């Protein structure tokens, strides 16, 4: 059995995930404006993939062309070649679905046009607009001996023209189109609902920007730059870490290009010239028949908000019935463990818990790890309130949270100004855990309220991502959480735990141990089971142990939204493993680990995916679920997701994802969980009304 039939390359698996996102844009059962969103998400996902993963592979090639993927034995060059082929294939589909959606939008009075689709009168009005509103604000550049090729900003759009003088000499003219001073969508005068993209307007009038030249050919271009910087490798311990990260962000914006996109065909020599200036190989050049940046689609959606049929049915996170209104949140957690399931449950009880802790005279400290927070963060405001009320507040702000560094830097300053103790993570490790510890000093001694989550402390994503948040007054869990924070404050990692799974030292090894336990039960002829819901599966040690478990007869269900490097259903190898991916309205982000059956079942929620970066190079926390009611709730959730026959794709033994087809009653797990949340709240309201009557 060859490795290629059991393992899938990480990068190619990610491309398959983004293909599933694109399928949502193609799916006519999805409301039109939501399809627009999926198309834009497909593109932004791809931007980040090139910036990070392609950038990383290119860096690997610079080190050695013989570095190989530990699962498929592919070299970086082989991986890039395969990725570029797949991306080219998917871009044809993206172009096709974009055109289809634009045609559909016209039925609702919205049009995006270019100069081939406007009347002579409209063209004259657009010229006037260009001359009065745009021409004074643009900065045309001609590349020559005295004017070097300008720096092209990451992901910004430029109009490029091949210019010819009367003497026959050619030069290159470039105009930035992403100034932010003028709107992206330019209304076409006299034609309500019709728009032209500002870059198309600039490109059309590029001859006006370069008088004295003939424009032989022209195109819009967009550069994607490498963003893969190893902050720890570059850090000098004599520097202030926060100032260092500010400089690093600036440096990242100037890294080498890894992709060049063009809106039109240019002469091959001109493309070669652009590639030379940018130091990009021809293989990394893509011709698109759609706009180079699809973010404007969200603006179109805003113009259609008054047509409900174009959007998903409105859903509002509900107040969890686990919490009683008007009673202390902390006291309710002390009585019984609580579990919130976002976005079906509201994040409000967690925010109320923080606010209550900030004002509780018996609370002596609040400690929290922050990875990504909202721009206007109520979580951070509550921590500031606690500090201002005299509590000890310790906050680990991870400044290496990719693309959120600037937001985190600003919040770290605010926290420090309020009197919080702020630490910035560890050398060599990102702190990705979602851990909060409230310590109270009472007559009976110290009491702990510990919260462990699967997602960030971010009110915005709590409405968009599926995540879990468990709160407990379990003393031993609180003591272990305290040990985690103690280690972080010392710049160290926890070496041993009894209850929590804490990476990098006490998560992968314990997961491997629990898989081994299931293998032994299967060998003894007993029922053995593993169920895991994660975002990605790439950790080869865990993958290989799962393969061993499958061979031993352990039944394994894996719900993996994104990357999955394990191919299931291979006879004699992974035939006892099922892999599904749920891609739908909400981003599946929760992590659940289930090991064993019945009385001996071990169940956790976690911040960690089964990726080596999470299990060995980050601080991650998984918490055991001991409360019988919460265990039942999570088991039911997991079974429901496995039964989804609307948003699920199943990974087959040939490495291809296929939609689950079923003649049974339609089940969309995300919609089911929301209807369940609504029904529970309605049931409580009816019971209260009946009691009053």
137-162 pLDDT per residue, tens: 999 999 987 788 999 999 999 999 99
pLDDT of residue 427: 84
Q: In 525-564, where does DSSP find H-type helix?
A: 540-552
Mean pLDDT of the chain: 91
Percent of the chain whose predicted confidence (pLDDT) is above 70: 94
Kindly report the CA angle at 34 between 31 and 39, in degrees rounded to 5?
Answer: 125
Residue 627 CB neighbour total at 10 angstroms:
15
> Across residues 393-405, what is the average pLDDT?
75
281-296 pLDDT tens trace: 999 999 999 999 999 9
Whether residue 343 is preceded by a cis peptide bond, meaning omega within 30 degrees of 0, is yes
Helices 76-106, 55-63: axis angle to 10 degrees equals 160
370-389 pLDDT tens trace: 988 888 899 999 999 999 99
SS3 76: helix
- Please give the Cα distance from 512 to 530 (Å, whole number): 12
> Which candidate, 98, 130, 134, 25, places its Cα nearest to that of 292?
98
Phi then psi for residue 412, to 5 deg, are -60, -40
Lowest mean pLDDT among 66-70, 351-355, 537-541, 550-554: 66-70
CA 387 to chain centre: 31
CB 397 within 8 A of CB 370: yes
Has residue 233 got a pLDDT over 60?
Answer: no
How does residue 28 score in pLDDT terms, banded at 50, 70 and 90? very high
- Please give the Cα distance from 283 to 280 (Å, whole number): 8
> Across residues 523-531, what is the average pLDDT?
97
Residue 179 CB neighbour total at 10 angstroms:
14
Lookup result for tokens 């909202």: 374
DSSP state of 67: -
- Please give the Cα distance from 517 to 476 (Å, whole number): 24
- Please give the Cα distance from 338 to 458 (Å, whole number): 19
Lowest mean pLDDT among 366-380, 451-465, 496-510, 526-540: 366-380
Q: Which two structure tokens, joined as six digits, stand for 422?
A: 């702020």
pLDDT of residue 250: 54
- Please give the Cα distance from 485 to 436 (Å, whole number): 9
- Please give the Cα distance from 509 to 517 (Å, whole number): 12
pLDDT of residue 413: 85
For 489-514, the DSSP string reads HTT------SSSEEETTBSHHHHHHH
Query: Rounded to two decimals, what is the model's pTM?
Result: 0.92
Name the region of 525 (left: φ>0; alpha: ψ -120 to 50; beta: rest).
left
- Please give the Cα distance from 515 to 510 (Å, whole number): 9
pLDDT of residue 17: 98
Give how far Cα 429 sits from Cα of 337, 451, 570, 616, Å: 31, 22, 36, 9
SS3 27: coil
pLDDT of residue 63: 72
The catalytically annotated residue of 432, 499, 521, 589 is 432
Give how far Cα 248 sits from Cα of 194, 259, 403, Å: 42, 21, 12
Using a 10 angstrom Cβ sphere, with 0-12 exposed, 13-18 middle and 19 or more buried, the burial of residue 48 is: middle
pLDDT of residue 252: 45
Lookup result for tokens 């004002």: 359
Distance in angstroms between the alpha carbons of the first and the last residue of the chain: 70
How does residue 682 score in pLDDT terms, banded at 50, 70 and 90? confident
CB 401 within 8 A of CB 371: yes
Is 355 designated active site?
no
- Please give the Cα distance from 444 to 432 (Å, whole number): 33
Percentages helix, strand, coil for the chain, rounded to the nearest 5? 45, 20, 35
44-57 pLDDT tens trace: 999 999 999 998 88
SS3 of 262-315: ECCCCCHHHHHHHHHHHCCCHHHEEECCCCCCHHHHHHHHHCCCCCHHHCCCCC
- Higher pLDDT among residues 406 and 238, named by residue: 406
């Amino acid at each position: 059995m060859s490795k290629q039939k059991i393992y899938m390359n990480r990068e190619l698996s990610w491309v398959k995930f983004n293909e599933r996102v694109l399928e949502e844009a193609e799916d006519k059962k999805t409301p039109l404006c939501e399809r627009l969103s999926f198309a834009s998400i497909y593109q932004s996902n791809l931007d980040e993939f090139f910036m990070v993963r392609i950038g990383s592979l290119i860096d690997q090639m610079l080190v050695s062309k013989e570095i190989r993927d530990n699962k498929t034995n592919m070299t970086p060059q082989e991986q890039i070649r395969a990725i570029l082929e797949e991306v080219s294939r998917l871009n044809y589909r993206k172009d096709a679905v974009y055109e289809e959606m634009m045609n559909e939008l016209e039925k609702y009075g919205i049009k995006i046009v270019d100069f081939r689709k406007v009347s002579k009168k409209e063209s004259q009005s657009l010229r006037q607009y260009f001359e009065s509103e745009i021409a004074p604000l643009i900065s045309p550049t001609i590349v020559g001996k005295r004017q070097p090729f300008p720096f092209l900003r990451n992901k910004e759009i430029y109009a490029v023209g091949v210019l010819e003088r009367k003497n026959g000499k050619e030069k290159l003219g470039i105009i930035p189109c992403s100034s932010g001073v003028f709107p992206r969508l330019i209304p076409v005068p006299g034609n309500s609902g019709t728009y032209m993209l500002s870059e198309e307007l600039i490109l059309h009038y590029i001859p006006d920007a370069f008088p004295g030249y003939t424009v032989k050919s022209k195109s819009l271009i967009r550069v994607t730059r490498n963003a893969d910087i190893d902050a720890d490798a570059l850090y000098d311990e004599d520097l202030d870490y926060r100032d260092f990260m500010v400089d690093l962000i600036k440096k990242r914006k100037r890294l080498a290009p890894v992709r060049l996109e063009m809106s039109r065909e240019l002469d091959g020599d001109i493309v070669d010239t652009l590639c030379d200036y940018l130091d990009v190989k021809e293989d990394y050049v893509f011709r698109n028949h759609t706009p180079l940046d699809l973010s404007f689609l969200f603006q179109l959606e805003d113009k259609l908000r008054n047509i409900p049929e174009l959007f998903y049915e409105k859903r509002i996170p509900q107040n969890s019935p686990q919490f009683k209104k008007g009673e202390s949140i902390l006291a309710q957690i002390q009585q019984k463990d609580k579990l919130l399931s976002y976005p079906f449950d509201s994040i409000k009880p967690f925010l109320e818990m923080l606010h209550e802790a900030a004002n509780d005279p018996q609370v002596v400290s609040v400690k929290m790890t922050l990875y990504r927070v909202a721009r206007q963060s109520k979580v951070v405001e509550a921590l500031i309130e606690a500090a201002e009320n005299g509590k000890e507040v310790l906050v680990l702000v991870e400044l290496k949270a990719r693309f959120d560094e600037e937001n985190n830097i600003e919040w770290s300053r605010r926290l420090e100004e309020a009197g919080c103790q702020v630490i910035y993570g560890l050398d060599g490790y990102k702190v990705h855990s979602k851990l909060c510890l409230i310590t109270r000093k009472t007559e009976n001694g110290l009491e702990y309220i510990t919260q462990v989550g699967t997602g960030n402390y971010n009110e915005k994503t709590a409405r968009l991502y599926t995540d879990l948040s468990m709160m407990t007054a379990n003393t031993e869990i609180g003591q272990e959480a305290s040990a985690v924070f103690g280690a972080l404050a010392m710049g160290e990692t926890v070496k041993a735990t009894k209850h929590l799974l804490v990476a990098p030292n006490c998560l992968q090894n314990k997961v491997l141990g629990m898989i081994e336990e299931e293998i032994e039960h299967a060998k003894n002829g007993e029922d053995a089971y593993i169920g895991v819901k994660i975002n990605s599966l790439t950790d080869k040690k865990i993958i290989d142990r799962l393969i061993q478990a499958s061979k031993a007869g352990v039944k394994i269900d894996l719900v993996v939204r994104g990357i999955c490097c394990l191919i299931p259903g291979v006879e004699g190898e992974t035939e006892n493993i099922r892999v599904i991916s749920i891609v739908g309205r909400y981003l599946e982000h929760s992590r659940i680990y289930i090991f064993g059956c019945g009385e001996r079942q071990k169940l956790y929620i976690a911040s960690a995916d089964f990726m080596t970066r999470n299990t060995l190079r980050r601080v991650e926390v998984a918490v055991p679920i001991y409360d019988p009611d919460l265990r039942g709730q999570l088991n039911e959730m997991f079974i429901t997701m496995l039964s989804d026959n609307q948003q699920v794709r199943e990974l087959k033994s040939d490495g291809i994802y296929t939609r689950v087809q079923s003649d049974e009653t339609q089940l969309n797990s995300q919609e089911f969980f929301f209807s369940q949340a609504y029904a529970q709240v309605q049931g409580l309201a009816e019971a209260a009304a009946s009691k009053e009557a």
